[in-house]
Structure 1
């Protein structure tokens, strides 16, 4: 799948406090989320607001956000990390879209392996995570997403919460982005994983370092999802320290 083109954002102009009158972000809104389509039918995974102006509960959303963000003079949410080169919405909600990423590791030391899925949308190797449903907590979403995409039920396991942060998702824009709760599950040995839902494959990969993980994935003719690299690096740091 081809990723959307973006306006290149120099580091010096990324902050919203810096004036950039020539800034022309690329609209990445897919047809299903454009105003005319939303007026006819709202997808079951998205809210019906055609623009941030149509959202009435900004104070509540800001209070519940994993990562704080501000609104501009129009009342539109601003990506906490600054300009992205993209505008519009290719996610279910305006502003923060909460996700849950369960990092499942089996074994210890040089025998460690990591569970990854092949994502159906962009066909790369990724953590078997997904979006938190309305009214759902992140811990419940971690268990649900893992079971839906791999068939593995870890409801009885207590994970280590590693981070709550914005991830560099390809769908992020100036006004809609993904913030993830990542959690580490440690198993004594590998268990059977069966790809389902948004996954087209599920496999265990060597996980002694990111270098070894990259080498194994590349040797198989596949690619590791770049947005998940910081999450996996944090998991490795935790494992190496405990």
Structure 2
């Protein structure tokens, strides 16, 4: 599912001059200007280009990961060139997301809750985009409830970090950044897949290697973009 255009490390930074740079446009048909003029998907903003977005100062001030605008006033991916252009997300610039990581048990009995995403059919952390005006904590609890049936609104998670997610939809001018948080439960509880999840299961979580082995043995695949977030969770858990 992931599109990858290799950008040489020495040319990734926006400060490096690269006149020949020609990223691949991955804008889907429903987000092209001609389509937006007739109908705007309920998950997307109507702006056909970043020049049509009126609130860049507010977006920059609220961003999980700071970013800059180029000479045209277009947002630039915080980590540099991606090799991809256009927009395959709801918003130009940063799309803020919440990724709740739910772990149960300790030691050899420690387990991790993952969903099977119905869009890419891979095992992943439940999570998704923040709704307008929604806080990260509210989004974490909502996504868990919608995708796994777990109501952990009364739990106070450990915020692990904020960062850009290596999402296949990221482009030079539209990307996903996420708040990742760790919920710990004494024992696994029943989870029921819902919303964007095709399945929900608990997996052994002593290490990423153990998790990989279990998922592979079941004939499934771990969503690669979530590996760094899971390692953050393991690092935190192993400090105790």
TM-score, L = length of structure 2: 0.98
Residue in 1 aligned with 2:168?
A: 170
CA distance in 2, matches of 1:61, 1:102: 23
Within the alignment, does 1:122 sit opposite 2:120 as a pair?
yes
Map of 1:227 onto structure 2: 225
Using the alignment, how far apart are the partners of 2:185 and 2:5 within structure 1?
A: 43
Find the counterpart in structure 2 of residue 70 from structure 1. 68
Matched residue, 2:234: 236
Secondary structure at 1:61 match in 2: helix
Name the CA distance, whole Å, in 2 between partners of 1:7 and 1:81: 15
Cα offset, 1:8, TM superposition: 2.2
Q: Distance in 2 between matches of 1:146 and 1:14?
A: 35
Instruction: Quote how far apart the aligned CAs of 1:147 are.
Output: 0.5
User: Residues 60-96 of structure 1, C-alpha deviation per residue, up to 9 Å, x if partnerless?
Assistant: 1000001100000000000000000100001010000
**Runs of 4+ that moved beyond 2 A:** none
Aligned residues: 240
Shift of 1:211: 0.4
Q: What secondary structure sits across from 1:40 in the alignment?
A: coil
After TM superposition, the structure 1 = structure 2 runs for residues 93-132 of structure 1, keeping only pairs within 5 Å, are: 93-132=91-130
1:49 paired residue number: 47
SS at match of 2:88: coil
Instruction: Work out whether 1:90 is the aligned partner of 2:88.
Output: yes
Matched, 1:3 2:6: no
Question: What are structure 1's unaligned runs of at least 5 residues?
Answer: none
Whole-angstrom distance in 1 between the partners of 2:167 and 2:2: 11
Once the two structures are superposed, residues 152-211 of structure 1 have per-residue CA deviations (whole angstroms, 9 ceiling, x without a partner) of 100111100000111101110000000000000000111111111101011000000000
**Quick check: 1:7–1:24 contact (8 Å CA) kept in 2?**
no
Gap regions ≥5 residues in structure 2? none
Query: Are the equivalent residues in 2 in contact too, given 1:107–1:188 (CA < 8 A)?
Result: yes
Paired residues for 1:172-211 under 5 Å? 172-211=170-209
RMSD of Structure 2 on Structure 1 (CA):
0.8
Q: Which residue of 2 aligns with 1:157?
A: 155
| Matches of 2:191 and 2:35, distance apart in 1 | 37
User: Normalising by the residue count of structure 1, what TM-score does the alignment of the two structures yield?
Assistant: 0.98
Following superposition, the deviation at residue 20 of structure 1 comes to 1.1
Contact 1:27 1:86 in 2 (8 A): yes
Match of 2:22 in 1: 24
Aligned-partner Cα distance in 1 for 2:9–2:92: 24
